[in-house]
Amino acid sequence: MNLYSMHSLLKLMLFTLILIYFIATPIVSTSRRLINNEATLSKIGFRVELKHVDHGSNYTMLERIQRGIDRGRPRLQRLNAMMILDSDSGSGSSDVASKVHPGNGEFLMNIAIGSPPNSFYAIMDTGSDLIWTQCKPCEQCFDQPTPVFDPSNSSTFSKLSCSSNLCQDLPTSTCDDGCQYMYTYGDYSSTQGVLATDTFTFGSGSGSDKVSVPNIGFGCGEDNEGSGFNQGSGLVGLGRGPLSLVSQLDEPKFSYCLTSVDGSKTSTLLMGSLVDTNTKSSNLSDVKASDIITTPLSQNPSQPSFYYLTLEGISVGSTKLPISKDTLALNDDGSGGMIIDSGTTITYLEDKVFTQVKKAFTSQMNLPLDDSGSAGLDLCFKMPKDTSSLEVPKMIFHFKDANLDIPSENYLIGDTSIGILCLAMGSSSGMSILGNVQQQNIMAVYDLAKESLSFIPTQCDAL
């Protein structure tokens, strides 16, 4: 055999070996986009049931709000502390702020992990990114309402390597038998374990009502401490960061529609094509085009997970309050501004802004103040015996390009048993937060491709 023939033979053998390698070896993606569906989510979409953490209880509306405020107090304190740390650092790169997250939440979403699927309720949180659940073997686990996930029973479970992009995106990680994560929350709860991938199943029933998505990255928590998550069996982050469900699905559009906190029906989270389908459904046929308002989303480099809105002013009754735009603005140092957050119960406004709102309601309600403090809210009135003719001032949040006329039942909460009517808002020393009580029966549609948020008046329990 001549030299040319030997060279050709070697090239053929090398090509054959490479071909055999790629046929025999599964390709594992370590990119942020781990999805490998035959049908893309943009074509099929999915619906997830949400329920309030006090769903099915006998608490009054006011009691549920009080409980939510108590649960969320550490979250608010943490959010304010994050803003202070960032503004003090001047660069938004505080080591502490980058490792501690708001935590908690008020709505639970029904999902399943593994093959076969293991169903559970996890906290939905638009203010954080990591998806996680408790896993066996548990060194330290809190009590949860469903069995703890056992990865050895799932044929599709796989640990992520330390070189994977999702591991690199963790604020804190170590390398020991895969990528080890540590996530700490504002109420001193924490989860620690291995970062892995598995198949997630969304929706209920069968057929088109249920969608399975492979290779979702999540934290398999083997050491979980604190009382902040007892109402669920983990957490699903829907924030802007690369670890969140929204980012991993690479799906730019999602929405949720929250029913009344004291209602008996569940709420809804929509992803993908179902967002557009439901915004055009018969349930919304009586909604006028002028009722649908859209405002730009903005970003804060120092807090990249949050969804920021530009609040330019507030009206109470016929009066637009004398609030400077600078007071509401997101500052260059990362402080101030307003986020929309599903995990915070009531709306919190910057101190100076809330003072103006409180003053306006006090002068316009024509009711005596209740200063007993029994409700745990900043502003309450003594409720008259006859509430059938009670008139209350309108409240409008003036966002950039959009005026949100908030339904009165979303900001004034009464309790006839104790005879008080309270403003379901509070003051904040840091950022302002649009809470979930003010979002009741308003479909919030997030479009990350257009960097916009739309509000659609909706009877959410009819979706």
Q: What is the CATH number of the domain that holds 237?
A: 2.40.70.10
Q: Is residue 62 assigned to a domain?
A: yes
pLDDT in tens, 240-292: 999 999 999 988 899 999 999 887 789 999 988 788 766 665 456 567 777 89
Q: Is residue 87 assigned to a domain?
A: yes
Last residue of a domain, one of 271, 305, 329: 271
What percent of the chain has a predicted confidence (pLDDT) above 70?
79
Q: Which residues, listed in sequence order, are joined to residue 255 by a DSSP beta bridge? A: 270, 445
Q: Which of 42-46, 145-149, 231-235 has the lowest mean pLDDT?
A: 42-46
Does 57 share its domain with 170? Answer: yes
**Residues forming the active site:** 125, 341
Q: Is residue 371 assigned to a domain?
A: yes
In the chain, the N- to C-terminal Cα span, in Å, equals 76
Does 352 share its domain with 248? Answer: no
Would the pLDDT of 165 be above 70? yes
The per-residue pLDDT for 43 is 55
Q: What is the CA radius of gyration of the chain?
A: 25
Does 228 share its domain with 297? Answer: no
Q: Is residue 420 assigned to a domain?
A: yes
Does 52 share its domain with 197? Answer: yes
Does 239 share its domain with 343? Answer: no
Does 296 share its domain with 229? Answer: no
Does 238 share its domain with 297? Answer: no
Q: Which of 78-82, 151-155, 342-346 has the highest mean pLDDT?
A: 151-155
CB 438 within 8 A of CB 406: yes
91 band by pLDDT with thresholds 50, 70 and 90: very low
231 band by pLDDT with thresholds 50, 70 and 90: confident
Chain centroid offset of residue 209 CA: 22
Does 205 share its domain with 81? Answer: yes
**Alpha helices (H) along 28-60:** 41-44
pLDDT in tens, 392-415: 999 999 999 999 999 999 999 988
Does 373 share its domain with 452? Answer: yes
User: pTM for this structure?
Assistant: 0.85
Last residue of a domain, one of 210, 244, 271: 271
DSSP-derived 3-state class of residue 254:
strand
Number of domains in the chain: 2
Last residue of a domain, one of 239, 271, 303: 271
Does 264 share its domain with 358? Answer: no
Would the pLDDT of 451 be above 70? yes
Domain residues for 259?
A: 41-271
DSSP characters over 103-134: ---SEEEEEEETTTTEEEEEEEETT----EEE
Does 51 share its domain with 187? Answer: yes
Does 324 share its domain with 265? Answer: no
Q: Is residue 310 assigned to a domain?
A: yes
Q: Is residue 9 assigned to a domain?
A: no
DSSP characters over 215-229: EEEEEEEEEEESSTT
The per-residue pLDDT for 323 is 93
pLDDT in tens, 371-398: 888 888 999 999 887 776 788 999 999 9
Q: Is residue 11 assigned to a domain?
A: no
The per-residue pLDDT for 386 is 73
What does residue 193 show for φ and ψ, rounded to 5 degrees?
175, -150
Q: Is residue 18 assigned to a domain?
A: no
